Amino acid sequence: MVAASPNPIHNEKIEAIELPVIDLSAERSQVRNLIVKACEDYGFFKVINHGVPQDIVAKLEEQSLSFFAKTMAEKQRAGPAIPLGYGCKTIGFNGDMGEVEYLLFNTNPISVAQRSKTISNEPTKFSSAVSGYIEAMKDLACEILDLIGEGLWVPDTSVFSRMIRDVENDSFFRLNHYPHHLNKDCNNNINSSCSSKVGFGAHNDPQILTLLRSNDVGGLQISPQDGLWVPAPSDPTAFWVNVGDLLQAMTNGRFVSVRHRALNNSSNSKSRMSMAYFATPPLNACINALPEMVTPEKPRLYKPFTWGEYKNTLYSLRLGDTRLNLFRASTSDELAS
């Protein structure tokens, strides 16, 4: 029997902490320094005055809500998510469950257009909304990554963003919907605990960077230390940014891949919806600590690997498993580098 993801533990500590908010319209040298500090301290921050047009967000939200309002039978025509497509409660392939339904896309416009045919009665309109949003997120992610490169004072400031701009990038995009009525709609796992309020269980994102936008219903939390969870207040006009495993590896542990989760506030009369863009390099991209990040005092923490190798590892593990530890450098690796 497939086991449900664990419920939030009663003795967990929930604490409201003022998380970093960065105004991208401020003076550039100040912005890059603030981003680097946020990545070091939390691996997580909010950006405002980001330049993403509101109509791009509004069009996608309208199309998304229209899809999630369909009957379960209609939505299931866009699935199952293996891994792309429509999924309900089941997350991944190894037994993780959550009170969530979602659509997962590869960000390639041709792939989006093809998949939209099973999602919408107006596939061109839906595809246009998704691809327009993805393009805006790609531009924003690359801008933030260039600022990170500048803030780290590396010679090649586009070392991170170049991977995302590569035509072979493996970036993907997910629409998450956390409806309060999901328990009665999703009947594909009748043995799971329907009282669970875990929408998307605790995990670290494996990619370089994630950009997340949600509506005005809260639920996102980060864990800056074991046992402590900090709510990230909803702000439909802003984007939350979090460091992924690959960026932690490339900065040799200077940046932290933040652990986070989403709770489904089922008592709320309004459903939560979020849009997550995962900035990811090509499958053959070599992930290695930048030379400037390795010193005698801070030796190399991780052995080189490709994104393809890391991605394959993901499919063999549970959602909450720690993956980077599997790529820890040994003493012999360090001597050979």
Q: Which residues contact 23 (CB under 8 A, 6 or more apart)?
A: 31, 47, 48, 49
- Tally Cβ neighbours within 10 Å of residue 337: 14
DSSP string, 257-297: --EEEEE--TTSSS-EEEEEEEE---TT-EE---GGG--SS
- What are the angstrom distances between the C-alpha of 128 and each of 29, 116, 123, 135, 190? 35, 10, 8, 10, 36
Q: Which helix (H) or strand (E) element contains residue 198? A: strand 198-204
CB-based contacts of 229-235 (< 8 A; 24+ apart in sequence): 229/12, 229/13, 229/14, 229/15, 229/261, 230/14, 230/15, 230/16, 230/17, 230/19, 231/14, 231/16, 232/19, 232/44, 232/46, 232/260, 234/272, 235/46, 235/48
Task: Give the Cα separation of 283 and 245 in Å (integer).
Answer: 15
Q: Do 74 and 62 contact (CB within 8 A), yes or no?
A: no
Angle 310-176-216 (CA atoms, 0-180°, nearest 5)? 130
**With 0-12 CB in 10 A as exposed, 13-18 as middle and 19+ as buried, what is 326?**
middle
- Token digits for 111? 């792939």
The DSSP symbol for 154 reads -
- Token digits for 30? 């100040």
Told to judge if 272 belongs to the known catalytic residues of this protein, a careful annotator would answer yes
> Which residue in the list 32, 174, 254, 272 is annotated as catalytic?
272
Residues labelled catalytic: 272
